[in-house]
Structures are given as structure tokens and as C-alpha cells.
Structure 1
Amino acid sequence: MGNLAKLPNIGEVVEQQLNEVGITTYEQLREVGSKQAWLKIKAIDPSACIHRLYAFEGAIQGIKKSQLPAGTKAELKDFYNSFKG
């Protein structure tokens, strides 16, 4: 288990996926942002869902995804929905 799995919402499997797409540190995750990180993961894992997107944003903010403000969740949901077939 590396540094990313120590963040809220990030487990070993998600950390492995982030590493696969070139994100290996919190700083890189923060710089890339939750949306771009999610798009990179979606490219290698088509099952990446909205909860993964929330998880990335929560990890960046240092909170559980359930604690994200409603406005942030709404913005992320709009972003997620724009990629649904």
C-alpha cells in the first residue's frame, strides 16, 4: 500500500489504477484534479462510476466522499452525466 491509499476514499485497487495512469502522489492527484483523474481511470476501467469521481474529489479535499458539499456533488454529477452514452 502506497501513499494514495492513505487518503480518504482511496483503497489499494484504486491506488493501483491511479498508479497505472501515472498518478502516484497526492500532489499529482491534486494537480490533475478529480475530473481528469476519473477520465484517465475510465479509459482503463469502463466500470468507473460516479462514486469513484466523488472519491477522488473527497481525497483531494481530505474528506470522505459523503461529506462533499451538495454543490460540489451536483457539479461532479453534471460532469459524469456528460460522459454517459
Structure 2
Amino acid sequence: MAELTSMMNIGKAMAKKLDSVGIGSAEELVRSGAEQAFLKLKERYPNVCLVHLYALEGAVCNVEFNSLPESRKKELKEFSDFLKR
């Protein structure tokens, strides 16, 4: 299994947070998807924000988070906004 830190956008701090919510490998993150991983992080770390969600999506898609298509960023923002309600 590949380490989380081998993924784009995932540093040691993010990998530690992901591991604390049960996502301990790159494969587990890809399997769970960015939104589900973000939900788990949000429950434990309420201060995670939209940029974290973008970083997770970038990791899953193997792209820099700022290179995500605008349409996908919009979907992720809507998801994040929905969680704030």
C-alpha cells in the first residue's frame, strides 16, 4: 500500500489527520473519495476548509489542487457549503 504522503497535495500533517480518521493509505483515500474523506475530517477537525477538500480531490485525481477543473471546484464548493447548513 502506498503512503499518503506519496500523493500529490498530501503533506505529513494532512496524512496524520487522515490516518486519525481511518484513512491510512493512498488506496484507502482513493477508495473513499475526496468528499467522504472530507466528511470524516470535518467531524474530527471542524476547522478543515474548502482548500482541504480541493487538496483531497487533487490527491485522488493526481493533480495539483489548483489545477482542478472549475466545474469540479464548483461542485466541491457546493458540497462544502451544504455541510455548513
Q: TM range, normalised to the smaller chain? A: over 0.9
Q: Normalised by the size of structure 1, how large is the TM-score? A: 0.94
Unmatched runs of 5 consecutive residues or more in structure 1: none
Q: Which residue of 1 aligns with 2:40?
A: 40
Dislocated runs of 4+, deviation >3 Å: none
| Counterparts of residues 47-62 of structure 1 (less than 5 Å) | 47-62=47-62
Matched, 1:21 2:21: yes
- Compare the two structures and name the one with the higher helix fraction: 2
Whether 1:69 aligns to 2:69 is: yes
Provide the C-alpha distance between the structure 1 equivalents of 2:37 and 2:8, rounded to a whole number of angstroms: 15
Query: How far does residue 5 in structure 1 lie from its aligned partner after superposition?
Result: 1.2
Instruction: Work out the percentage of aligned pairs sharing the same amino acid.
Output: 38
Q: Give the paired residue count.
A: 84
With normalisation by structure 2, the TM-score equals 0.94
Inter-partner Cα distance in structure 1 for 2:42 and 2:17? 10
Partner amino acid, structure 2, of 1:13: A
Q: Is the aligned partner of 1:82 residue 2:79?
A: no
